[in-house]
Amino acid sequence: MRSMVATLTLLGATALLAAPAQAEPVRWSGNGHFYEVAVVPEGITWVEAKAAASARGGYLATLTSAEENLFVWSLISNQPRVWTTSLRQGQTDAVGPWIGLVQIRHQAQEPKGGWQWISGEPLAYANWAAGKPNNLEQIEDYGHLFRVAGSKAPATWNDLPNDPTQLSLVRAQRPVAYIIEFDRQPAP
């Protein structure tokens, strides 16, 4: 009996570790929407993050203004657990959470063609990092928050493949977080 309880406890702990850690949703007065930071320490693909956000009742955040972008930045700027790294040409950059930015391949005209928000909102505001999007290796079709090595400035955007470990020219890890946006207060 004791070993069965220990096994159940271990299984329960494993299940808890596999679930993303989430901060309480925070309301932004700019649009009345709620934002939640979900952390997945083992990393997550964009498609997995999109599905998880949808299962939670929201969608990957759409940052349609400088003010909204800064608000989301305020939620993650002092949270090292939402950042991982990529190494390119001897420079270590900070890979931040996935957002709801996707490039539709059949419309793509590089470098900036075919990008849209998953919510259908127009991409009227953009906050790409210098030289981004660049569609490295022709497989970078998903957006995430990004900081150049050593920068203390608010995050900009970068393009990555669904699974960044597929890149051969850059040593990249999967993002370890994503931002969920809710049109109204989510259920607990």
CB-based contact 66:127 (threshold 8 Å): yes
If residue 12 lies in a helix (H) or strand (E), which one and from where to where?
helix 2-18
- Separation CA 53–CA 32 (nearest Å): 18
- Cα-to-chain-centroid distance, residue 177: 5
- Separation CA 55–CA 79 (nearest Å): 24
Rounded to a whole number of angstroms, the CA Rg of the chain reads 17
What's the pLDDT score for residue 86? 78
Domains parsed from the chain with CATH numbers: 20-182 (3.10.100.10)
What digits encode the pLDDT tens for the residues 5-26? 332 223 333 333 344 666 789 9
Residue 168 CB: number of other CB atoms within 10 A?
Answer: 7
pLDDT at 37 > cutoff 90:
yes
Beta bridge partners of 47: none
CA dihedral 131, 115, 119, 64 (to 10 degrees): 40
pLDDT at 121 > cutoff 60:
yes
pLDDT band, residue 27 (cuts 50/70/90): very high
CB-based contact 98:144 (threshold 8 Å): yes
What's the pLDDT score for residue 96? 94
- Written as six digits, the tokens of 129 are 């990092």
Per cent of the chain over pLDDT 70 is: 82
